Amino acid sequence: MGRLLQDTSDEFAIDKALRVYPTNQQVNDHNSAVLNLYRNNGARIYKIKAQDQLVHATRNADNVDIATIIPADINKTGGLPAELQIFVGAKVMLRSNIDVSKGLVNGAIGYINEIVWPQFRRTQMYATDVPSVRIDFARDGVHLIHPKAIQFPAKYNYGTAERRMLPLI
């Protein structure tokens, strides 16, 4: 232990090893490299966009683009990302407690086994589709994770916003 790996170019380093980086940009670069590796190996990657809405407006928001009043920081949106790229086989981590008794807690890591689209569809039909996912959490078992809705303050005192998204990163 105590060794620091500088070269992360081989497949093991990109794909399997748990990585800890000091900056968000380094994390984003690593995640992009992993996505590119799987994309080049033929994986079908889906881009999931969060469903955002203003639920309790304190100001008139009729002519306001919702994207401009939603915080960009994931920590200010209840841990739910604005966008998520997923595929069968993707390593993911829960961002919120779902069922503590089953081990489905914030930080639990697993692999996506199945993507379950709304209304019994076989694939993503609309950019706003948010599926459920079946995840193998190893010793904690395989569980179906559904999208979660979280409310948080909108920017510029517009009131309360709500985001519906999978609680994963």
Residues 6+ apart with CB under 8 A from 112: 86, 87, 88, 89, 90, 92, 133, 134, 135
Mean pLDDT on 90-119: 94
How far apart, in whole angstroms, are the C-alpha atoms of residue 94 and residue 104?
Answer: 8
pLDDT recorded at residue 141: 94
pLDDT recorded at residue 128: 85
pLDDT band, residue 11 (cuts 50/70/90): low
The residue count of the chain comes to 169
pLDDT recorded at residue 13: 60
Mean pLDDT on 117-141: 91
Q: How many CB atoms lie within 10 A of CB 52?
A: 18
Between 15 and 120, where is the model more confident?
Answer: 120
Percent above pLDDT 70 for the chain? 91
Render pLDDT for 35-53 as a digit per residue (tens, 0 to 9). Answer: 998 999 999 999 999 999 9
